[in-house]
C-alpha cells in the first residue's frame, strides 16, 4: 500500500473492534486462556511438525531436521526470505513417521530422531531461510508446517554491510509449542506455571515464521471511545485462526523480517545472525561498522551484552530500533536451553543461593545485578513498557513526540519541534523503553539518577504506563492490571507498596543517541518501529536510512 493511502486510512480509524466470529466467551478465552500447539492437537486431519538442531548455521555446515508426521511421506521447500524471496532447495517423497514427544518437551526438548540432513551451500547468502513442509493428511487434504533457520555470515571484514541480529532469545521466550514458555505453561505441581527453562529443540509455534498480511499487530488500530472495555484483536484473531497466542509478541514474521526486507529493498547489503552468535562467537561483530537490533528484543545474556559493549567501545555503531530490554537470561546445554526465572528469580534462581548474583535471571534493573539496560543501549525497560494497548494509553500519541528536530537523525524529514514521528504508521507502541527525565527550557534531559550514559541526548519522548488505570473498567476486564508495575516497584525499591507503585507506574518511551568509547549508539526504544517500515512511512524510512548511512560511513545522497 502506498504511504499516502495508508495515512488516509489510519487518520480515520474504525470505531468498532474487528469481528472474527467469536462469542463473548471465546473472546475472553482468547485473552485469558492458555492455548498452545501440541502433538496430537489436529486429530483426524493429521499433523506435520519440524525443528532443526540449531538456530543458525554458517556456509558449509550441516543442518539436521527432525520431523514428526502422521503421513508416511512429506515434501520440503526452502526459500531465503529477504527483499525478494529466493527458492533454494526442494525435495519430495521424503520419509516421515510419528515420533513420541515428552510431556515437558518445551523444557526438555522433543528428542526426536533425525529425519533429514543437508549441507548449507558455500553460495547461500546470509539471511533467514523459511522451510515449508507439506504432506497428505488423513482426510486426503494437504497439511502444512513451517520452520525457520538462520544462515550466519562467515568471519571477516565486511565494509559497507550491515549485520542484523535476530531477537532469538525473545523468540524462545514466547514460543508456545509444547505448552510452556516464559509466560504461561504446564510446568509445576499443578501444571499451571510458566517455564523457567525453555528448549530450542522443538518446533516454532504457528505464526512465528509466516503470517498473512491481515494479521493484527498488538497496538490497537481502533478509535476507542471513553469507558470502552479493552479488547485484544491480535489474540482474538489467533484464537479464531489457530495461530499461537503469542504470534504478535515475537517471531520472524511479526518483527525481524520487516527490517530485513526493507533494508535489502532499500539497497543495503545485510547479513543476519542469531543472538547465540553474540554469546558464543562475539567476534562476529568485528567485521561490521553497523550492527542493528529490531522489534521486540527483550531477553539477553550477560555475554551478549559484553559483545555489544566491547564492539561499540572499539569503534562500532549499534542501531537499535527495538523495545523492552528487560530480562537477563542464561544459556545451558551448549545453548540448547534458555533459563529465565523472571518474577520468581529472587525466590527460585540458584544464582541467589550461593551463585553469582550478578547473573541472576531477573530484570536488568534489579540493583543486585548492577547492570541496568541503559548501560548498553541508553534506556531501561522498567521506565517504559506499555503504550497503545489494553488500558495503557489506548488513545495515545501513536508516534514519537520530537524535541530535538535539528539532530542529524531527522535530516531531510521536515520534522518540527513537537511533531509526531511515525504516528501515521503507529511506530510508538506495545512496549517501549525510557528513562527518568526532567524538562528544562522545553527540552528533556535525563535525571542524575536515571542511569543514562554520559553524553546521552534525548531526541523524542512519549508517554507510557505500567498499569491499566481506569475507574471505569472493572478489574476482571483488565489484562495487564498493575502486576508488572508492582513487580517493578518491588524490584527497584524492595517492596510492592502503593507508594512505590506510584513512583514507577508512569513510564515513557524515548529516542536517544550517545557516544561510547570510539563508537556510538542510536536507540529508538519501541517494539513497533518496524511497523513504519512495513507500512512504508516515508519519514520513518528516512530516519532509519539516516542512521544506517551515518553508521556505514556513507556520504549524504549516496
Give yes or no for a contact between 174 and 106, defined as CB atoms under 8 angstroms apart.
Answer: no
The Cα 202–Cα 413 span in angstroms is 44
- In this structure, the chain runs to a length of 558
3-state secondary structure of 244: coil
> Helices (H), strands (E): how many in the chain?
14, 25
Q: What is the pLDDT of residue 6?
A: 41
pLDDT tens-place string over residues 226-269: 888 889 999 999 999 999 999 999 999 999 999 999 999 999 99
pLDDT tens-place string over residues 477-532: 778 888 999 999 999 999 999 999 999 999 999 999 999 999 999 999 999 999 99
The Cα 513–Cα 454 span in angstroms is 10
Residue whose cell numbers read 556513507: 554
Q: What is the pLDDT of residue 1?
A: 39
CATH code that applies to domain 162-172+246-326+363-552: 3.40.50.880
Give yes or no for a contact between 488 and 495, defined as CB atoms under 8 angstroms apart.
Answer: no
Whole-model pTM: value is 0.96
DSSP codes joined into one string, 304-362 = HHHHHHHHHHTT-EEEEEEE---EEEEEEGGGTEEE--GGGHHHH-GGGTTS-GGG-SS
Closest-CA residue to 195 (of 176, 209, 208, 170): 176
pLDDT tens-place string over residues 51-95: 999 999 999 999 999 999 999 999 999 999 999 999 999 999 999
The Cα 196–Cα 324 span in angstroms is 19
Q: What is the pLDDT of residue 5?
A: 41
Q: What is the pLDDT of residue 107?
A: 98
DSSP letter at 254 equals I
Q: What is the pLDDT of residue 3?
A: 43
3-state secondary structure of 180: coil
Q: What is the pLDDT of residue 555?
A: 63
CA dist list (Å): 324 to 42, 128, 351, 432, 525: 34, 23, 23, 6, 8
Q: 300: which strand partners? A: 328
The Cα 213–Cα 340 span in angstroms is 32
Residue whose cell numbers read 534462581: 349
Helices in 374-504 by DSSP H: which ranges?
A: 374-377, 483-493, 498-504
Strand pairing class (56-57; 443-446): unpaired
CA dist list (Å): 383 to 305, 466, 484: 19, 9, 12
The Cα 300–Cα 278 span in angstroms is 10
Residue ranges in the chain whose pLDDT is less than 50: 1-10, 557-558
Domains of the chain, by residue range, sit at 162-172+246-326+363-552
Q: What is the pLDDT of residue 387?
A: 96
Q: What is the pLDDT of residue 44?
A: 87
Q: Compute the radius of gyration of the chain from its Cα atoms.
A: 23
Q: What is the pLDDT of residue 224?
A: 86
Amino acid at each position: 500500500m502506498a504511504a499516502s493511502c495508508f495515512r488516509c486510512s489510519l487518520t480515520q480509524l474504525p470505531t468498532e473492534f474487528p469481528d472474527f466470529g467469536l462469542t463473548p466467551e471465546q473472546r475472553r478465552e482468547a485473552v485469558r486462556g492458555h492455548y498452545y500447539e501440541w502433538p496430537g492437537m489436529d486429530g483426524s486431519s493429521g499433523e506435520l511438525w519440524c525443528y532443526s538442531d540449531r538456530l543458525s548455521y554458517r556456509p558449509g555446515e550441516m543442518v539436521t531436521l527432525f520431523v514428526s508426521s502422521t503421513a508416511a511421506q512429506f515434501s520440503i521447500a526452502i526459500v531465503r526470505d529477504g527483499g525478494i524471496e529466493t527458492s533454494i532447495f526442494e525435495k519430495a517423497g521424503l520419509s516421515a513417521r510419528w515420533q513420541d514427544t515428552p510431556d515437558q518437551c518445551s523444557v526438555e526438548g522433543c528428542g526426536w530422531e533425525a529425519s533429514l540432513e543437508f549441507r548449507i551451500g558455500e553460495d547461500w547468502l546470509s539471511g533467514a531461510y523459511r522451510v515449508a513442509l507439506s504432506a497428505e493428511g488423513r482426510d486426503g487434504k494437504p497439511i502444512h508446517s513451517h520452520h525457520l533457520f538462520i544462515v550466519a555470515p562467515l568471519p571477516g571484514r565486511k565494509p559497507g554491510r550491515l549485520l542484523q541480529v535476530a531477537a532469538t532469545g525473545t523468540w524462545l521466550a514466547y514460543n508456545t509449542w509444547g505448552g510452556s514458555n516464559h509466560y504461561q505453561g504446564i510446568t509445576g505441581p499443578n501444571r499451571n506455571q510458566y517455564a523457567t527453562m525453555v528448549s530450542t529443540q522443538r518446533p516454532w509455534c504457528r505464526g512465528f515464521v509466516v503470517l498473512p498480511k491481515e494479521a493484527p499487530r498488538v497496538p490497537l488500530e481502533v478509535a476507542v471511545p471513553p469507558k470502552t472495555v479493552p479488547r485484544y484483536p491480535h489474540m482474538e484473531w489467533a484464537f479464531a485462526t489457530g495461530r499461537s497466542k503469542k504470534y504478535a509478541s515475537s517471531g520472524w514474521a511479526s518483527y525481524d523480517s520487516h527490517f530485513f526486507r526493507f533494508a535489502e529493498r532499500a539497497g543495503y547489503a545485510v547479513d543476519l545472525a542469531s543472538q547465540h552468535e553474540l554469546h558464543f562467537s562475539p567476534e562476529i561483530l568485528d567485521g561490521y561498522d553497523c550492527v542493528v537490533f529490531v522489534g521486540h528484543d527483550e531477553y539477553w545474556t550477560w555475554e551478549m551484552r559484553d559483545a555489544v559493549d566491547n564492539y561499540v567501545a572499539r569503534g562500532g555503531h549499534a542501531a537499535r530500533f527495538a523495545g523492552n530490554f528487560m530480562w537477563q537470561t542464561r544459556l545451558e546445554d551448549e545453548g540448547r536451553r534458555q533459563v529465565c526465572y523472571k518474577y520468581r528469580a529472587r525466590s527460585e534462581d540458584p544464582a541467589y543461593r550461593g551463585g553469582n548474583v550478578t547473573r541472576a535471571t531477573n530484570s536488568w534493573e534489579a540493583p543486585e545485578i548492577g547492570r541496568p539496560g541503559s548501560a548498553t543501549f541508553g534506556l531501561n525497560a522498567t521506565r517504559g513498557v506499555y503504550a497503545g494497548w489494553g488500558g495503557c494509553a489506548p488513545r495515545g500519541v501513536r508516534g514519537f513526540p520530537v524535541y530535538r528536530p535539528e539532530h542529524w537523525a531527522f535530516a531531510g524529514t521536515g520534522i518540527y519541534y513537537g511533531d509526531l514521528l511515525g504516528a501515521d504508521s503507529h511506530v510508538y507502541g506495545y512496549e517501549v523503553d525510557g528513562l527518568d527525565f526532567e524538562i528544562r527550557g522545553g527540552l528533556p534531559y535525563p535525571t542524575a539518577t536515571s542511569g543514562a550514559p554520559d553524553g546521552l541526548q534525548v531526541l523524542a519522548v512519549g508517554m507510557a504506563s505500567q498499569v491499566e488505570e481506569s475507574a471505569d473498567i472493572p478489574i476482571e476486564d483488565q489484562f495487564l492490571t498493575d502486576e508488572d508495575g508492582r513487580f517493578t516497584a518491588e524490584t527497584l525499591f524492595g517492596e510492592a507498596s502503593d507508594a512505590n507503585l506510584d513512583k514507577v507506574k508512569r513510564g515513557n518511551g524515548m529516542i536517544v543517541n550517545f557516544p561510547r568509547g570510539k563508537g556510538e549508539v542510536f536507540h529508538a526504544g519501541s517494539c513497533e518501529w518496524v511497523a513504519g517500515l512495513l507500512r512504508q512511512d516515508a519519514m520513518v524510512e528516512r530516519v532509519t536510512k539516516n542512521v544506517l548511512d551515518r553508521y556505514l560511513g556513507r556520504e549524504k545522497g549516496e
